[in-house]
């Protein structure tokens, strides 16, 4: 899997998906630029999310709030006081880690030990294997499970109460070592605020202190009444937003999985207090279906309930994805109660209440949020799509291909238009005419460089679902060959049918 991760990162660079930021100056840690194919894929992911949220729901509307917000926003939201990660340094390696993540990795290792033991027993006992009984009685499994539960509880308690000394104690008790060097020489655990800050105009000091938003949600909360009034929405209704967020992450070593500047797609759904759990369940299912509609196998996803609830939530679950480095959070679904609206109301002195005309009463709505990182979704899609394959009936270099089996709706380029030979003006002219016609419908690429096999390989590597080849028959019978990326099948079709075949395959409708 690590090998796959390395291959993916270099594929991203080589085929124009992602570059390190300011690379000529050796890059900037945990900041990346989206390259020409990357920006297309990312835009398509955003479009898919936006359409499924806003276009498909009459009661969800969009918003694009500014990144900078009044500094009091972050006081009210709790980010100034509580948006901290517990960090710990290793004195020998001088490396910095998140204490909670070191402990979670340790818990994952215990889980892996248990699973290994169970799988061994399954192989040994075959059909008669009773997993529940085995888990409850095998001494090694029971011992590891007890240890795991105890540490999980201590971690949850320490994180909830902000007890840094206890986190250090857990690290010591579990004899956790620096993953890089094996050293156990740790500093104390300290709180570290993740918000970047800057200064407004020429106002010095605290007065002019501005933060780069660490989540897009607050722009939605402070606009809640504006939106409700101007769109005349009735509860339940939602506000959706896509935008940049910034976090000064302590550990940022996993490519675009953990960045310091990233993009979120968030939707806050405002509901009647008491109805939030029903909507929480609704959005859990809806969001999982959104992922599965892209054709990714269900085994790549799982729900992970939060043991350790954030200060604002009364229920929270992650949709985890099987990334090349294991199952990790891709999206969060949180029941945020009325925490945010209530704190903004208190600090601003402005009412943020909804008037329910039927019940003839005012109340502060509860909020269920769905929050997904666009960059993590990008990484999930790439790692799921990346395939190395043998090509049947091909020889030499052409017998192997790397193909990105992206869903056609999100693939960066939809169709490549390829004249069979570059030095035949009649083929080139015809190909250009076809390209100029198709470009109005979807993103196409014209390519006449190198042998046709090579051009196919290039399109496979960026996930183009269709290649259209113009040859001498085209000139006499107005047909082309259309090649399917996944089946490698080539069919002869009339030029006039290209647009419709491709449009049907890439239609957003197929996903809803
Ligand atoms: P983690 O525990 O991995 O730090 P989080 O629980 O802090 O994530 P949320 O605050 O719930 O994340 O943010 C919502 C979503 O935003 C996440 O599910 C993730 O997809 C994305 N996200 C959060 N932090 C980052 C980051 N540093 N880089 C890229 N995406 C991120």
The 3 state secondary structure assigned to 68-115 is: ECCCHHHHHCCHHHHCEEEEEEECCCCCEEEHHHHHHHHHHHHHHHHH
Distance, in Å, from the CA atom of 253 to the CA atom of 444, rounded to the nearest integer, reads: 35
Where do we find the tokens 């949600």? 217
- Rounded mean pLDDT of 187-205? 85
Q: Report which protein residue has its CA nearest ligand 1's atom 9.
A: 332
What DSSP element (H or E) covers 378? Answer: helix 374-385
- Rounded mean pLDDT of 466-491? 96
386 pLDDT exceeds 90?
yes
Q: Report which protein residue has its CA nearest ligand 1's atom 14.
A: 371
Which strands make up the sheet holding 96-98, listed edge to edge? 96-98, 84-89, 190-193
Measured distance between the N- and C-terminal CA atoms of the chain, rounded to whole angstroms: 32
Distance, in Å, from the CA atom of 506 to the CA atom of 411, rounded to the nearest integer, reads: 9
Ligand 1 contacts CB of residue 247 (under 6 A): yes
Ligand 1 contacts CB of residue 73 (under 6 A): no
Residues in CB range of 248: below 8 A, 6 or more apart: 192, 193, 194, 195, 196, 260
Ligand 1 contacts CB of residue 11 (under 6 A): no
Are residues 42 and 34 in contact, defined by beta-carbon separation less than 8 angstroms? yes
Side-chain-facing half-sphere of 254: CA atoms under 13 Å = 16
- Probe target for ligand 1 pocket from 104, 213, 264, 328, with the most ligand atoms within 8 Å of CB: 264
Distance, in Å, from the CA atom of 8 to the CA atom of 38, rounded to the nearest integer, reads: 13
* pLDDT at res. 383: 96
User: For 100-109, 206-215, 220-229, 341-350, which range has the lowest pLDDT when averaged over its residues?
Assistant: 206-215
* pLDDT at res. 288: 98
Distance of CA 145 to the CA centre of its chain: 31
260 pLDDT exceeds 90?
yes
User: What backbone torsions phi and psi does residue 370 show, to the nearest 5 degrees?
Assistant: -115, 130
Distance of CA 464 to the CA centre of its chain: 22
- Probe target for ligand 1 pocket from 262, 290, 367, with the most ligand atoms within 8 Å of CB: 262
Q: Is 36 helix (H, G, I), strand (E, B) or coil?
A: helix
Paired with 316 in beta bridges are 334
Which segments within 208-360 are labelled E, that is strand? 209-211, 237-246, 261-271, 301-305, 315-323, 326-337, 354-356
| More reliable by pLDDT, 89 or 374 | 374
Are residues 495 and 438 in contact, defined by beta-carbon separation less than 8 angstroms? no
| More reliable by pLDDT, 9 or 85 | 9
- Rounded mean pLDDT of 119-131? 91
What integer best gives the mean pLDDT of the chain? Answer: 93
Q: Work out which ligand 1 atom sits closest to the CA atom of 371.
A: 14
What DSSP element (H or E) covers 370? Answer: strand 366-373
Distance, in Å, from the CA atom of 48 to the CA atom of 292, rounded to the nearest integer, reads: 13
* pLDDT at res. 120: 93
User: pLDDT above 90 covers what percent of the chain?
Assistant: 82
User: What backbone torsions phi and psi does residue 487 show, to the nearest 5 degrees?
Assistant: -90, -15
Ligand 1 contacts CB of residue 263 (under 6 A): no
Which of the four pLDDT bands, split at 50, 70 and 90, describes residue 307? Answer: confident
Distance, in Å, from the CA atom of 427 to the CA atom of 472, rounded to the nearest integer, reads: 7
Distance, in Å, from the CA atom of 201 to the CA atom of 179, rounded to the nearest integer, reads: 44
Are residues 99 and 171 in contact, defined by beta-carbon separation less than 8 angstroms? yes
Instruction: Give me the count of residues in the chain.
Output: 512
* pLDDT at res. 468: 97
Are residues 304 and 320 in contact, defined by beta-carbon separation less than 8 angstroms? yes
Centroid of ligand 1 to alpha carbon of 98 (angstroms): 14
- Rounded mean pLDDT of 9-28? 95
Q: Work out which ligand 1 atom sits closest to the CA atom of 260.
A: 27
Which of the four pLDDT bands, split at 50, 70 and 90, describes residue 310? Answer: confident
* pLDDT at res. 113: 93
Taking residue 81's Cβ as centre, other Cβ atoms within 10 Å add up to 11
* pLDDT at res. 267: 98
- Rounded mean pLDDT of 205-225? 91
Are residues 142 and 129 in contact, defined by beta-carbon separation less than 8 angstroms? no
Q: What's this model's pTM, rounded to 2 decimal places?
A: 0.87
* pLDDT at res. 1: 62
Centroid of ligand 1 to alpha carbon of 393 (angstroms): 45
Of 243, 267, 290, 296, give the one whose Cα is nearest residue 508: 290
- What is the rounded radius of gyration, in angstroms, for the C-alpha atoms of the chain? 27
Centroid of ligand 1 to alpha carbon of 129 (angstroms): 39
Task: Encode 329-341: b = buried (16+ Cβ within 10 Å), e = exposed.
Answer: bbbbbbbbbbbbb
Centroid of ligand 1 to alpha carbon of 321 (angstroms): 13
């Amino acid at each position: 899997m690590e090998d796959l991760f390395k291959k993916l990162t270099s594929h991203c660079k080589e085929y124009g998906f992602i570059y390190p930021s300011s690379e000529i100056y050796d890059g900037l840690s945990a900041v990346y630029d989206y390259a020409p194919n990357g920006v297309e894929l990312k835009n398509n992911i955003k479009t898919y999310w936006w359409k499924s949220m806003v276009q498909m729901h009459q009661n969800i509307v969009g918003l694009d709030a500014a990144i900078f917000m009044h500094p009091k926003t972050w006081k009210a939201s709790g980010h100034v006081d509580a948006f901290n990660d517990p960090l710990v340094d290793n004195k020998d390696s001088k490396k910095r880690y998140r204490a909670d993540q070191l402990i979670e990795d340790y818990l994952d290792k215990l889980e892996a030990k248990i699973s290994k033991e169970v799988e061994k027993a399954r192989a040994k006992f075959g059909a008669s294997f009773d997993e529940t009984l085995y888990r409850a009685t095998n001494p090694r499994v029971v011992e590891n499970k007890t240890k795991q539960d105890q540490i999980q509880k201590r971690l949850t308690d320490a994180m909830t109460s902000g007890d840094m000394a206890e986190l250090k104690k857990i690290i010591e008790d579990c004899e956790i070592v620096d993953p890089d060097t094996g050293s156990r020489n740790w500093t104390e655990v300290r709180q570290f605020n993740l918000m970047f800050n800057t200064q407004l105009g020429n106002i010095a000091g605290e007065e002019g202190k501005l933060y780069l938003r660490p989540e897009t949600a607050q722009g939605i909360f402070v606009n809640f009444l504006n939106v409700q009034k101007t769109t005349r929405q009735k509860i339940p209704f939602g506000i959706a937003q896509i935008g940049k967020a910034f976090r000064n992450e302590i550990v940022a070593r996993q490519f675009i999985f953990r960045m310091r500047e990233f993009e979120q797609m968030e939707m806050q759904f405002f509901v009647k207090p008491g109805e939030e759990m029903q909507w929480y369940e609704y959005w859990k299912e809806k969001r999982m279906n959104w992922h599965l509609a892209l054709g990714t196998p269900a085994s790549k996803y799982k729900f992970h309930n939060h043991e350790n609830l954030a200060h604002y939530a009364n229920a929270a679950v992650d949709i985890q994805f099987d990334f090349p480095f294991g199952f990790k959070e891709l999206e969060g679904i949180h029941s945020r109660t009325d925490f945010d609206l209530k704190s903004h109301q208190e600090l601003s002195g402005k009412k943020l209440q909804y008037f329910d005309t039927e019940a003839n009463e005012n109340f502060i709505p509860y909020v269920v949020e769905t929050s997904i990182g666009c960059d993590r979704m990008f990484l999930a899609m790439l790692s799921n799509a990346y395939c190395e394959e043998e090509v049947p009936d091909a020889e030499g270099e052409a017998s192997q291909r790397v193909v990105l089996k992206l869903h056609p709706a999100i693939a960066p380029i939809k169709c490549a238009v390829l004249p069979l030979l570059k030095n035949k003006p009649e083929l080139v002219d015809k190909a250009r005419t076809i390209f100029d016609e198709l470009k109005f419908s979807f993103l196409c690429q014209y390519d006449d460089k190198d042998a046709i096999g090579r051009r196919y390989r290039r399109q496979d590597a960026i996930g183009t679902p269709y290649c259209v080849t113009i040859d001498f028959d085209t000139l006499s019978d107005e047909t082309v060959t259309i090649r399917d990326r996944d089946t490698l099948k080539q069919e002869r079709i009339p030029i006039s049918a290209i647009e419709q075949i491709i449009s049907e395959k890439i239609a957003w409708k197929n996903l809803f």
